[in-house]
Structure 1
Amino acid sequence: MTLEAPRTTVDTVAGDVAAGAAVVTVYAPAHEVDVARTMGVHSRGTGDPTCRSTPEGFWRTVRTPEGAATLLMRQRQHGIEARAWGPGAHWAIDRVPALLGADDDWSGLTLHTHPALAEVRRRNPGMRLSRSGLIMEALVPAIIEQKVTTLEAHRAWYRLIRIYGEVAPGPAPAGMHVAPSAETWRGVPSWQWHRAGVDPRRSRTVVSACQLATALERAATVDAETAATRLQTLPGIGRWTAAETTQRSHADPDAVSVGDYHLAAHVGYALTGSPVDDDGMLELLEPWRGHRQRVVRLILASGFAKPRHGPRMTIQDHRGH
């Protein structure tokens, strides 16, 4: 897959970035990129203090190895303009192509056996798998989301980020924060976890993982399968949590969130018209091994809602309404 190299410009010297000026690049890929569709996986709901979609573009805060950063990405006719502020601005800008799926190759995915999925892909050519290159950023919220409802998990995440995260650098929208460092997560007192609705088992798992944060971040440099295996050696981190992490850190095209409360039934309804369990979901996805996360992402992007009773997924065109 051929990519046009990013055209990068910097409107300030590196030493001035912390003072508030932006580092700027224009990423001009040879393929379509839908920023919102691609970046949505990093957002934990519409109220996430670390991600925000506004008329200006998609805002994201990130704790890089060089410090906190705020990143704004917006679609332009000539490509995707990205601006970053804060001590980690250069790190964030350098990784914009990977974040927007530069390494994500869909060419091997065959969808001729399922026309509805092929139609979803045709309508979403710019949806790509995003690779952040950061393990802890994805791992901590995944642990918080274990075995609770989405509403409970998001409420806990928002509360903890607003209390322990730092205010986003640069001109980020009001209320945006950067997720805490591993050291800060380790210092959250038990009563704050309790107030946020995070039980002792999950809070202990977060703290234990953060004690190994430096070693765990090295897993971002190995392949997704190896990274997932390493993560699952830690107490409290199983297949679901590892998959939720590598989907974001590695843009893992094959990671399936086995153990998700809703996903298996959703996939079953979409592909067969009937709910299935995890084993049934894996059996249905087996023909697409190597691309199973891509197929799941297409199903989720289709707008299909599992019915009480009804047929498998069909695609309706509402563009004329």
Structure 2
Amino acid sequence: MSPDADTLQPDACYLALKARDARFDGCFFTGVTSTGIYCRPVCRVRTPKRENCRFFGHAAQAESAGFRPCLRCRPELAPHAPRWSIQDASDMLAQQAAALLDEPEAWNGDPPSVELLARRLGVSDRHLRRIFEARLGVSPLQYLQTRRLLTAKQLLADTDLPITQVALVSGFASVRRFNAAFLQHYGLNPSQLRREGGRAGGDAVVRLGYRPPYDIAAMLAFFRKRLIAGVEAVGERELARTLALEVGGQVHAGWLVASFDPERHQVELRVSEGLRGVLPRVIRRVRAALDLDADPAAIAGVLHDSFPGTDGLRVPGTLSGYELAVRAVLGQQITVAAARTLAQRLLDRFGTPIDTPWPTLTHLFPAPAVLAAAEGDALGQLGIVRQRQAAIVAIARAVADGLLHLHPGADVAATVALLRTLPGIGDWTAQYIAMRALRWPDAFPAGDVALHKALGVQGSRQAARDAEAASQPWKPWRSYAVIRAWARLAEPTQPVATP
């Protein structure tokens, strides 16, 4: 089911709505003409009559048509609906533009604008507006306005952040503009919504939706096998860790706990007071780390025949692309256990202590500036070989100097090319970082030894080339194919390769 308004199949949408099918959550929204409200397909209210339903591919389309978001199913909780194409250049441009508008870290603190967006994509702003409106049914600014309003709506309903702070962290330039936009679109002012919901207390608790199937056990097992004591803790259904984010020159540090609720197809995210000021960024990072916006149906359509029984697997991401890059370097050519030992030593030597209510969460991962200034001997004493010392310091310096950005909003091709210029970083490491930190769905570390074993090409003299050739039918979802291939191994091992 395409998210474009002109290609949605209304009868199919209505069947999904009647079944409250969570697989289509976020793929479309239903505007009910008798109430003026738009809902997710999983909404538990009484199913409206077919003649009263209009279907939209994006929340922005529904709001542009004059519908207000449902206060019960809360459209802001729906997973995003990414679509990838290897043929339609216009669709790719529109979807990439929408993805950049969704990603607050793509703008380095600057407010997004159509001019900046067009420059990032290498097209004129007129062409971008035309393609965006033709493909998504709304202008880029209307799309961005809806995203900001839904973010603010979630913060108002689930937290006790001051309304002024909600307006600013949601992307509004002033409280006056925020109040005016909220009243215009939703017919009530922010304080009215807060009286109906809102949560008092130091921590913030929000809910994040995802589409089933989701193999929760596999995702948490992946993180559990690689966790660093003091930074991370993994339970049966939850992941907890410390985190520091620098925004506008200010460091926000604290902890978070993400708990899966499989019955409701949601993740409950609890964030400490120290991170509440950057809550929208934390939410985006958690969504990326747990791959909550994946579309299992689209991915299975390409991969199911090659990897049956693995439709619930997701690509594990990261809450810190910089941290993931450092740990990827530590894991070159060694086992998971050995890489974990080196990462633990690095934390114990260079990590920053932090107070949390969790006895297992005691430190923040070493900041880029700290590792950028690390002497070779200090890293060598931890058992890190010289080549990887140089790679770690180079990554830390590039991140600290603002030259390297490792988040889903970064330019994939440019970032991978920059990574390869750093000492000790080869194609395997760059592709691994692209897969997990940049959230590129078509990353493929062709030199991975475990991947060769899973694909049955480990004895070939040109194993990387054979693996690359075997991967062609899996485009544009090769990152997911890699995770499925690793899952084939009876005893999964650390992916290793020569950088």
Aligned counterparts, 1:1-321, within 5 A? 2-3=25-26, 4-6=75-77, 7-8=154-155, 9-13=157-161, 21-38=202-219, 45-55=226-236, 57-65=238-246, 66-76=251-261, 77-78=263-264, 79-85=266-272, 87-89=274-276, 90=279, 91-106=281-296, 107-108=298-299, 109-111=301-303, 113-114=305-306, 117-121=307-311, 125=312, 127-132=313-318, 134-213=320-399, 214-217=402-405, 220-268=408-456, 275-276=459-460, 277-302=463-488, 304-305=490-491
Counterpart-to-counterpart distance in 1, 2:411 and 2:437: 10
Deviation at 1:36, TM superposition (A): 4.8
Inter-partner Cα distance in structure 2 for 1:120 and 1:238: 29
The TM-score with structure 1 as length reference comes to 0.77
Match of 1:28, as an amino acid? G
Compared CA separation, residues 86 and 146, structure 1 to 2 (3 A): farther
Deviation at 1:279, TM superposition (A): 1.9
Quote the Cα distance in structure 1 between the aligned partners of 2:206 and 2:390.
40
CA deviations 1:84-125 (Å, max 9, x no partner) are 1253342323543333324323405424643xx12222xxx2
* 3-state SS of 1:183 partner: helix
TM-aligned CA deviation for residue 168 of structure 1: 4.7
Contact 1:138 1:249 in 2 (8 A): yes
Relative distance call for 1:195 and 1:43 in structure 2 (3 A) is farther
Counterpart code for 1:80? V
Equivalent residues of 1:182, 1:211 under 8 A apart: yes
Query: Once the 2 structures are TM-superposed, how far is the Cα of residue 198 of structure 1 from its aligned partner?
Result: 0.4
Contact 1:104 / 1:251 at 8 angstroms: preserved in 2? no
Write the letter of the residue equivalent to 1:263. L
For each residue in 1:1-29, what CA deviation from the matched residue of structure 2 results, as whole angstroms up to 9, or x when unmatched?
642422555445479xxxx9322111123
Compare 210-219 and 297-306 and name the one that shifted more. Answer: 297-306
The residue identity in structure 1 corresponding to 2:259 is R
- Structure with the bigger percentage of helix: 2
Larger radius of gyration: 2
Match of 2:150 in 1: none
Residue type at the aligned position of 2:327: P
| Structure 2 CA distance for partners of 1:86 and 1:242, relative to 1, 3 Å | farther
Identity %: 21
Deviation at 1:31? 3.7
Match for residue 319 of structure 1?
none
Q: Counterparts of 2:328 and 2:474 in 1: how far apart (Å)?
A: 25
Specify whether residues 98 and 231 from structure 1 end up closer, same or farther in structure 2 by C-alpha distance, changes over 3 A only.
same
- Displacement of 1:235 after TM fit? 2.6
- Contact 1:5–1:29 under 8 Å retained in 2: no
State whether residues 35 and 58 of structure 1, in contact with CA within 8 Å, keep that contact through their aligned partners in structure 2. Answer: no
Give the structure, 1 or 2, with the largest relative contact order (CA under 8 Å, sep 6 or more): 1
Task: Tell me: CA distance 1:21–1:230, structure 2 relative to 1, closer, same or farther (3 Å).
Answer: same
Task: Decide whether the 8 Å contact of 1:246 with 1:255 is kept in 2.
Answer: yes
Whole-Å separation in 1 of the counterparts to 2:310 and 2:322:
32
CA drift of 1:129 comes to: 2.8
Larger CA deviation: 243-252 vs 146-155 = 146-155
1:139 CA displacement:
1.0
- Supply the distance in 1 between the matched residues of 2:220 and 2:414 (Cα, whole angstroms): 24
Matched-pair contact (CA < 8 Å) for 2:232–2:360: no
Pairwise CA distance, 1:292 = 1.6
Shift of 1:30: 4.3
The Cα offsets for residues 156-197 of structure 1, whole Å up to 9 and x where unpaired, read as 111111222123553234254321111111233333312211
Matched residues, number: 292
Helix, strand or coil at the partner of 1:70: strand
Q: 2: distance between equivalents of 1:169 and 1:21?
A: 15
Alpha-carbon offset, residue 206 of structure 1: 1.2
- Does the residue aligned with 2:274 lie in a helix, a strand or coil? coil
Cα distance 1:5–1:142, how it changes in 2: closer, same or farther (>3 A)? same
Equivalent-residue separation in structure 2 for 1:48 and 1:300 (angstroms):
25
SS at match of 1:104: coil
Unaligned runs of 5+ in 2: 1-23, 27-74, 78-153, 166-200, 493-499
2:267 counterpart letter in structure 1: I
In structure 2, the partner of 1:314 is: none
2-structure distance, mates of 1:170, 1:133: 18
Amino acid at match of 1:22: D
Question: Is the CA contact (8 Å cut-off) linking 1:86 and 1:170 kept in structure 2?
Answer: no
- 2:244, 2:254 within 8 Å by CA — same for their partners in 1? yes
Contact 1:62 1:70 in 2 (8 A): yes
Looking at structure 1, the residues matched to 304 and 392 of structure 2 have their Cα atoms a distance apart, in angstroms, of 42
Structure 1: which amino acid aligns with 2:289? L
Q: CA deviation at 1:219?
A: 6.5
Residues of 2 paired with 1:203 and 1:211: CA distance?
12
Query: Partners in 1 of 2:283 and 2:395 — Cα distance?
Result: 27
Q: Kindly state the Cα deviation for residue 282 of structure 1 after the two structures are TM-superposed.
A: 1.7
CA contact (8 A) 1:84 1:93 kept: no
Give the counterpart letter for 2:205 in structure 1: V
Unaligned runs of 5+ in 1: 307-321
